[in-house]
Structure 1
């Protein structure tokens, strides 16, 4: 019996994507529920799972654009083959079984180009001695690459220390933009073209928050199992400021102004696939630990490619932290249709005048970009001052003042 492997539906707004990676090779034995491929769309990256046990036959190469519902492989549920490796460790070697180049899977050919590992020098563990993706990954990670010797313990071949250089005279390389990167680019340009974007700045003394974290960090970790970071403080400060300046918690919809009476805050996360903004729901009802936990969970899913449309949907305000990369100052771009975004930056010790004396304080620049069509300068500046006050005196968050 043959079972078709189709691209699953991911939401009404997604009709196609790019089959970025096969996690299995042609002829591998797969198990029900096993991840087969990675699909990149203009919104999320998701995985396709096997719906039965059997031997898989690939129909589409990596990098191909596919439609929702398209058949990309077939699983022969009556056949038996070699189990696809689930780790980087190679399976038992079959030194007498040649790995013909004509039978190499798309994944093996791609890895050969990327790692400069010659598949003919790798002992195949697949059907009829075929070199699998797992064999190539193991060879690339190993300090020595196995040769095609027929001895039980293959003679080693040195692994190239550097990536394959560009061809002589080649000064540029080209590759197709992924759907996610293309969508990010489109949204950023639209945000700049459709909004009257303006940025206002302030600086905040991080001494109080840093002292609070230092004092209670061990107790916090012992109770919750994770560290108390800066993002929970800023998220709470943003919620406080949105309540004080509700005009920032609004957006333009055609000729109407929509004011939000809830506090779902987006947190920008840098991933290998591009920037994503998962949303933390109802931040006004969450504790500091609840916010830290939620941010950690969605950030991990985003980086692991497990993010869903529900994680990205909605949001009334966004916080982006370029400081983790060392940014001193920036002008963040709006996350449409939101009307404002707060940019955090690196914490640097600087001399500051305090009560007529020069003291060294850990300072951070804050940047609030906002849509001037909706938010006036007074509201933007007041909002940023409220954030500053809450961070410099965290007890304000407890007393809601």
Structure 2
């Protein structure tokens, strides 16, 4: 009896996903709760686990294909049924070389490569099919190295590069004819050769969604950015004094992000417009503080949300951010963990950014950009001193936040960071 592998519910307003990669091959043994396939949505990457044991009998949705909620991705059969399916396939391939006599060994291998590409032609991934169609290639002539004899994008690229090299090598064996040098300039077609050295990769659903949301923010909000700089001396001194004791007691490192989260909450309480959003003709003021923390991953930028951050101490904030960082790197963030933030903090300083203008995360009305801490000469009490300084940037929606409110917000953050005692005394 076969069990269908279904596309699960993906979350609110998400009805479609892309098959990122299969973690099991047809014929592999499957146990209950084994991860079978990774699905990529416009927000997260999630695994579909086996609901029954047996063997993977059939894959109905290839990697790169789009599937809707409730669609069948493949089927799991019980062990006995799958053995019967897999074994004949192996035996059918085995008799060919075994049955042929010794003199005909050379002809048997010749037939195998021809069969493999023709079978693979019917199961080309969408990205591979697109490359083949755009370049007018015959898939039967391309050596396949993928599983089950399927063509991969790398196979197509390697084949195209091989074609680009052969014409250049061809004139070498025939130097005698005079017309040969005249024919050389006609061969290097600039755009054609450059196209052969390009790689076309389909955008992930996450990257597509990031692009859509960023463009939506630019097209919808009246974005403006205000800047300030903050002296990090006191925060760094406090951190250096207590970081070892903090880590020993709480089991997590004391970073700067918890200071900025608490400082932003302090400022949001004073300037509630920065914690609000526009809904049609209404202004929605949030009386809670769910702070989004931007995290870079190999697949793109994600923004998990620290819920009710105003009710958390420094250790709880650091633990939550560290956990989100691990989940983001492993692609384990859930939809619930990435929705519903009221304000966002982005730290481009970890990548060396000295200054930037962050883009809003709709429907939020404000985002704080942190940057690299660098020692710079500054005037302190009439004297020039070298201090660790950081530029801060607040991008905000001018439709709801006035310039006075934006500047005041940023000044409050600056004051709390330069004098961390304010965070403890709530002043």
In structure 2, C-alpha distance between the alignment counterparts of 1:59 and 1:376, rounded to whole Å: 54
- The answer as to 2:75 corresponding to 1:74 is yes
Compared with structure 1, are the counterparts of its residues 166 and 205 closer, same or farther at alpha carbon in structure 2 (3 Å cutoff)?
Answer: farther
- 1:288-367 matches, within 5 Å, as 288-367=314-393
Q: Which residue of 2 aligns with 1:30?
A: 30
1:256 is matched with which residue: 278, 282, 286?
282
- 1:216-227 matches, within 5 Å, as 216-227=242-253
Greater C-alpha Rg: 2
1:228 is matched with which residue: 250, 254, 257?
254
Please list the CA deviations of residues 364-392 of structure 1 after superposition, one character each: whole Å capped at 9, or x if unmatched. Answer: 00000000111011100000000000000
Compared with structure 1, are the counterparts of its residues 33 and 262 closer, same or farther at alpha carbon in structure 2 (3 Å cutoff)?
Answer: same
Q: Which ranges of structure 1 fall in alignment gaps of 5 or more residues?
A: 83-96, 111-117, 125-129, 132-162
- Stretch moving more, 223-232 or 52-61: 52-61
Compared with structure 1, are the counterparts of its residues 212 and 119 closer, same or farther at alpha carbon in structure 2 (3 Å cutoff)?
Answer: farther
Residue-pair matches, total: 345
Q: What displacement does 1:28 show? A: 0.6
Q: Which ranges of structure 2 fall in alignment gaps of 5 or more residues?
A: 84-97, 99-108, 129-142, 150-156, 165-192
Q: Which residue of 2 aligns with 1:181?
A: 207
Q: What displacement does 1:197 show? A: 0.4
In structure 2, C-alpha distance between the alignment counterparts of 1:300 and 1:393, rounded to whole Å: 31
What is the root-mean-square deviation in Å for CA atoms of aligned residues? 2.9
Q: Secondary structure at the match of 2:211?
A: helix
The structure with the greater share of residues assigned to helix is 2
1:282 is matched with which residue: 291, 305, 308?
308
In structure 2, C-alpha distance between the alignment counterparts of 1:119 and 1:231, rounded to whole Å: 49
Q: In 2, are the aligned partners of 1:28 and 1:81 still within 8 Å (CA)?
A: no
In structure 2, C-alpha distance between the alignment counterparts of 1:166 and 1:201, rounded to whole Å: 50
Q: Which residue of 2 aligns with 1:20?
A: 20
Please list the CA deviations of residues 207-255 of structure 1 after superposition, one character each: whole Å capped at 9, or x if unmatched. Answer: 1111111111111111111200110000000000001112211111111
Compared with structure 1, are the counterparts of its residues 165 and 300 closer, same or farther at alpha carbon in structure 2 (3 Å cutoff)?
Answer: farther
- 1:147-158 matches, within 5 Å, as none
- The answer as to 2:73 corresponding to 1:47 is no
Q: Which residue of 2 aligns with 1:115?
A: none
- The answer as to 2:387 corresponding to 1:386 is no
In structure 1, C-alpha distance between the alignment counterparts of 2:303 and 2:341, rounded to whole Å: 9
In structure 2, C-alpha distance between the alignment counterparts of 1:384 and 1:297, rounded to whole Å: 28
Q: Secondary structure at the match of 1:79?
A: helix
- Stretch moving more, 282-291 or 269-278: 269-278
Q: What displacement does 1:73 show? A: 1.0
Q: What displacement does 1:303 show? A: 2.1
Q: What displacement does 1:66 show? A: 1.1
In structure 1, C-alpha distance between the alignment counterparts of 2:26 and 2:124, rounded to whole Å: 9
Please list the CA deviations of residues 124-161 of structure 1 after superposition, one character each: whole Å capped at 9, or x if unmatched. Answer: 9xxxxx89xxxxxxxxxxxxxxxxxxxxxxxxxxxxxx
Q: Secondary structure at the match of 2:79?
A: coil
In structure 2, C-alpha distance between the alignment counterparts of 1:263 and 1:279, rounded to whole Å: 10
Q: Secondary structure at the match of 2:255?
A: coil
Q: What is the TM-score when the length of structure 1 is the normalising length?
A: 0.80
In structure 2, C-alpha distance between the alignment counterparts of 1:37 and 1:119, rounded to whole Å: 23
- The answer as to 2:273 corresponding to 1:247 is yes
- The answer as to 2:195 corresponding to 1:194 is no
Please list the CA deviations of residues 295-324 of structure 1 after superposition, one character each: whole Å capped at 9, or x if unmatched. Answer: 111222222111111111211100001000
Please list the CA deviations of residues 156-199 of structure 1 after superposition, one character each: whole Å capped at 9, or x if unmatched. Answer: xxxxxxx9797232242212222211111111011011111000
Q: In 2, are the aligned partners of 1:62 and 1:106 still within 8 Å (CA)?
A: no
In structure 2, C-alpha distance between the alignment counterparts of 1:5 and 1:264, rounded to whole Å: 36
